[in-house]
Every structure is written in C-alpha cells, then in structure tokens.
Amino acid sequence: MSNPYASFCHDFYVNTRISTQLNLPHSRETVLHFFERIQKEYPSMTQFRKCDGAEFNLEEERRNGSYRWVRLEMRRLVSGYVNPPSHEAARAFHRFLLDMAPYHLGISPLELEHLEVLFGFDLSYRGNHDDVVVEGLLAESPLACILEEKGARPVDVQPSVSISLSEDCRLQARLDVITRTDNYQVRTGDYGDDEISVYLTLRRYWGDRPREPMADIFEQMFDRADGIAANRVVPKVLRPLSSAIAARS
C-alpha cells in the first residue's frame, strides 16, 4: 500500500526509539559490525559519521526526498524512514533493526526503559504558524477567548495531549503540534521556510518485562499508531491545518 498521508503533508516519516537504562556498547568493533550489518541489508545506506560525543549515524542520501537513517547514542537507538514508499517498507525497516539490535548491541529486556513509535507529519507554510493552528484547531475552542483581547496576536500555540491506552498506563500516546514561528518573525512579518509538525507518538514502558519479542510489540504499536493517525489525526488535525494553510496561500 502506498503512503496514504502524502496528500495531507509535505513530509511523512516513521521513527522508532529504544531507550535503555544502561549504556549501549560503543567499541569500534561493535559499532562497525552493527552498521555493516545494516548496510548489507540496505546497501544504499552509505553515509556514516561520528558526531560529537558518543553518537554514530548511518543514513541514505537525502536528495531524493525518501531516505532511511539510524543513530546510535549512549543509551538510545533511534531510527527513521522519511517519506517511505509504503507503510510496509517503513514497517520492514524498523522490524529489521529491532530484530537485530538485541544480538548486535546486547540489548536485554531487563535494561529496557521504553520503546517509542512516532508518526510525523510536516506541513509547509511560510507565515505565522500559530495563526494557522488557532484557525485550524482552536477557532471554536474556549481557549481562543484570550485572542479577543485588544491587539492580541498568537505567538506560541503548540497544543499537546497525552493519553493512556492501557489500564496499567504502560502504553501511552501523545499528540503534539509543533510551530516554529518566533517573536521576531511575528514582529517583522519576515517569516522563514520552517514547517509545522504534527507528532503522534506511542510509548511502551517496559516495567512489566513483557515476554513478547520487542519487534512483535513494535508491530502492535505500529498498527495502533496507524489506526489513530488514519481515524483521528488526519480528519481532526491534518485536514483542518491543511485547509487553513490553503486558505492563506
């Protein structure tokens, strides 16, 4: 199935993040062997670099607009697929990493803190992002009453909601709308090319030490995130924001 969100945003991406309580191995042999195994599966991932501190990155060339990336940090393994050609391509990439990481990096269920699956949506708009969020999402909300004050202009409107999806609160979801308009831009009217981002994040805490493999739990979280995105985020968040942007273009 092709990406069903392409018509609602400029960029769509699926990220995963494993957070651990103990430091991940960062020896030369372990790091190189880990990234070489990824490159064997995905030969186009050729861009390798070490950043400041204990952080290593491997990614594909970004010029084509669709690319994968992996970052190994001290206590986190983070990966992403930007503009995947299909949901299944994104699922397969992250599943591969989660199947492989416990063996190559020695990750034990005992040390896991949480696993995150993020569906990200970037919407392009050269103008006041906060105005768009107010118009698209808050126009009929009682919270917008503060804008009735004389001379009021929105300068920081970034709604965020977190919910529990399980009785024990170990599975949670968070919806964030991120704007990137600053005070200088509002004051001068000189707006940049930054994008409005919508993040749907599912986080699974590992305190109960589930017996299922991490990759299987990822599959469940991926499907749940996809359902929430399709049934909630698209009609209630992305579509209104897209309409508000179109009305100003």
As beta bridge partners, residue 48 has 58
Average pLDDT over residues 234-249: 92
As beta bridge partners, residue 90 has none
- How many domains does one find in the chain? 1
- Asked whether residue 134 is assigned to any structural domain, the reply reads yes
- Asked whether residue 219 is assigned to any structural domain, the reply reads yes
CA-CA distance, 122 to 99, in Å (whole number)?
A: 29
Average pLDDT over residues 186-196: 90
- Asked whether residue 50 is assigned to any structural domain, the reply reads no
- Asked whether residue 195 is assigned to any structural domain, the reply reads yes
- Asked whether residue 176 is assigned to any structural domain, the reply reads yes
Q: Are 190 and 245 in contact (CB under 8 A)?
A: no
- Asked whether residue 59 is assigned to any structural domain, the reply reads no
| pLDDT tens sequence across 159-180 | 999 999 999 999 999 999 999 9
Q: Which domain holds residue 145?
A: 6-21+86-248
- Asked whether residue 167 is assigned to any structural domain, the reply reads yes
Main-chain dihedrals φ then ψ at residue 150, nearest 5 degrees: -60, 130
Average pLDDT over residues 219-228: 97
- Asked whether residue 35 is assigned to any structural domain, the reply reads no
By mean pLDDT, which of 9-23, 112-126, 138-152 is the weakest?
Answer: 138-152
Give the pLDDT band (50/70/90) at residue 1.
very low
| pLDDT tens sequence across 32-88 | 999 999 999 999 999 999 987 779 999 999 988 999 999 999 999 999 999 999 999
